[in-house]
Amino acid sequence: MYYPVFRARRLRETETFRRMVRETRLSVDQLISPLFVAHGRELRREISSMPGQFQLSVDELVREVKDVAALGIPAVMLFGLPASKDAYGSEAYAADGIIQQAIRAIKDTVSDLVVITDVCLCEYTSHGHCGVVEQGRVKNDATLELLARTAVSHAEAGADMVAPSDMMDGRVSALRESLDDNGFEEVPILAYAAKYASVFYGPFRHAADSAPQFGDRRSYQMDPANSDEALREVGLDIEEGADVVMVKPALAFLDVISRVKAEFGVPVAAYNVSGEYAMIKAAGRLGWLDEERAVMEVLTAIRRAGADLILTYFAKDAARILSERR
């Protein structure tokens, strides 16, 4: 059937028609809000490269998550800024570390909000790498034990889900085994399965003070040129016990999201990362584009590509926009 029998514009004519035939839906249920927590009290320090995002002390974090929950957002992802850093990132797995305190405080006040924790060492190590460094190299197997300890300490504090973002080989099995051994067989793993060595993490490293002090992360994070390799990474993580797999960043990797969803059919998350946030914010502030429309177009595109869940610093904005549309 073709023109003039078929006219594509007929069903584009009114908003009601467009609403009826819309293929992709974005819902607040699919959003996860990433938050940064730091030591101190009444601390709410805006991150200069991420306007509208803050480093929050635990008391402020509790206020923030109440807002997040009130908007209907089901989950947060926590990142911590430790009091001090060392070669082995020991605050990452300290019982009274910043994340462990934050989890307890959230669970005490907004207990039904899902608390997901980022499991990595880079915010906690003096060298800023995601693992143990020996002779200038990031050691895979020595790192696994520290990651597993971190995940267990988060679960002990009450985390609902743990999310390893380090890209060491074998970390999903290491976490699964340690969680199970410690009685946390019910705690799911969201694996940053296809995490690329991306320039778009720039503002995050500033926010979390986690830039590597030498070299870069290309010996563990993926080459942005590869997508067959992403399928292999995702497949391995699923075999090792990942419950949700993540592709990160989102926008330059929509094809990867799409391939992963088509190939595996498991819950897929996508991380709309700090640099993606910063670009829209900057252009919006300069009056170069309409921020609200840009946010919704991008989040819808990530859904259309196949993501079930989206981690985004725009979560609160999107939740507000979605509720105004009803």
β 31-38/54-56 pair status: parallel
Q: Report which DSSP code applies to 137.
A: E
Q: Which two tokens stand for residue 2?
A: 């073709």
Residue from 85, 149, 205, 281 touching ligand PBG (CB under 6 A): that is 205
Contact between 33 and ligand PBG per CB under 6 A:
no
Contact between 54 and ligand PBG per CB under 6 A:
no
107 tagged catalytic:
no
| Shortest reach from residue 277's CB to ligand PBG, in Å | 7
Nearest Cα residue to 311 out of 150, 81, 107, 75: 75
Q: By CB under 6 A, how many residues form the interface with ligand PBG?
A: 11
Contact between 204 and ligand PBG per CB under 6 A:
yes
The helix (H) or strand (E) run that includes residue 130 is none
Contact between 274 and ligand PBG per CB under 6 A:
yes
316 tagged catalytic:
no
Name the catalytic one among 85, 107, 139, 248. 248
Say which residue the tokens 């992709």 belong to: 24
Classify 73 as helix, strand or coil. coil
Distance between CA atoms of residues 134 and 257, nearest Å: 34
User: Residues 157-186: x/- map of binding to ligand PBG (CB under 6 A)?
Assistant: --------x---------------------
List of residues 6+ apart from 109 with CB closer than 8 A: 62, 65, 66
Contact between 122 and ligand PBG per CB under 6 A:
yes
Which segment (40-48, 118-126, 151-159, 177-185) binds ligand PBG by CB under 6 A?
Answer: 118-126
Contact between 201 and ligand PBG per CB under 6 A:
yes
- How big, in percent rounded to 5, are the helix, strand and coil portions of the chain? 45, 20, 35
**Closest to ligand PBG by CB, 249 or 306:** 249
Burial of residue 241 (number of CB atoms within 10 Å: 0-12, 13-18, 19+): middle
> Which positions touch ligand PBG (CB under 6 A)?
118, 120, 122, 130, 165, 201, 204-205, 217, 273-274
Q: Which residues are catalytic?
A: 195, 248
